[in-house]
Amino acid sequence: MPLRLGVNIDHAATLRQARYARDPESILVEPDPVAAALIAEKAGANGITAHLREDRRHIQDRDILRLKESLQTKLNLEMGNAPEIVAIALQVRAHDACLVPENRNEVTTEGGLDCLTHYAALNATIGQLHAVGTVVSLFIDPDPDQIQAARDLKAEYIELHTGAFANATGDTRAQELKRLIESAKLAHQLGLRVNAGHGLNYQNVRELFAVPHLEELNIGHAIISRALTTGLATAVKEMKALCEEYRL
């Protein structure tokens, strides 16, 4: 199975909000993250990821509604398990929902979801999402107990948090890669499907290809950053070409 690429467009919205958060109806508002999503899709993205945070620091409710209406591939809605956000997810009925932890003081998601501590609340939300036909993924650290909990919660996918791997060097990086490999094997044995994301870029993604059973990578910051010099379509095509090298 070819490795799919999900393009996260949050940082297109970050740039918009930096100028227009207080004047969202201005005729000058740009960039439009939905327009960016359509460019990414046309350039080969297999899906679009957008994180609707409780603090609405980048993606807004209207962006999610427009994405659902406009995309030809799929919308992967990243979301915290907060009642307000869950209600929007149930209304939109995104193809995929990836449940992630949220901390209002973080710059970006800093760690995986604790499925053990929050088992009961996650179980209720996953049941609601399944009832409207949404495929559920849990963004977790490469930890056996979290993987087992994800299986027990009946999520279809886990998304392995690759941040520790991406930020490490030397022996520590090798150890983090080993954790990811072992976690992907365990998840596959338990019947879970495996995605990965966080901190992946054009320099380190090939190293991740040692991890078996991967189906999709969700990448945002690196692609949007490269787009500043190459254009978004080229940045997506370059990452898509790297994904096509995956053989495991």
Beta bridge partners of 135: 96
CA distances from 70 to 65, 75, 76, 118, 185 (A): 9, 10, 13, 34, 36
Are 98 and 159 in contact by the 8 Å Cβ rule? The answer is yes
Q: What is the DSSP string of 15-63?
A: HHHHHHTT-TT-TT----HHHHHHHHHHTT-SEEEEE--TT-SS--HHH
Nearest-CA neighbor of 67 among 98, 96, 87?
A: 96
- 198 is an active site residue: yes
The SS3 call for residue 78 is: strand
CA distances from 28 to 32, 60, 97, 103, 240 (A): 10, 17, 31, 31, 32
Q: Which token pair is 143?
A: 């930890």
- 51 is an active site residue: yes
Which among 11, 58, 198, 213 is annotated as catalytic? 198
Region of 79 please: left (phi>0), alpha (psi -120 to 50) or beta: beta
Which among 11, 41, 51, 216 is annotated as catalytic? 51
Which among 11, 41, 58, 78 is annotated as catalytic? 78
Q: Which residues of 170-198 are buried (b: 16+ CB within 10 A; e: fewer)?
A: eeebeebbebbbebbebbeeeebbbbbbb
- 110 is an active site residue: no
Are 48 and 73 in contact by the 8 Å Cβ rule? The answer is yes
Give the separation between CA 49 and CA 218, rounded to whole angstroms: 7
Residues marked active site are found at 51, 78, 198
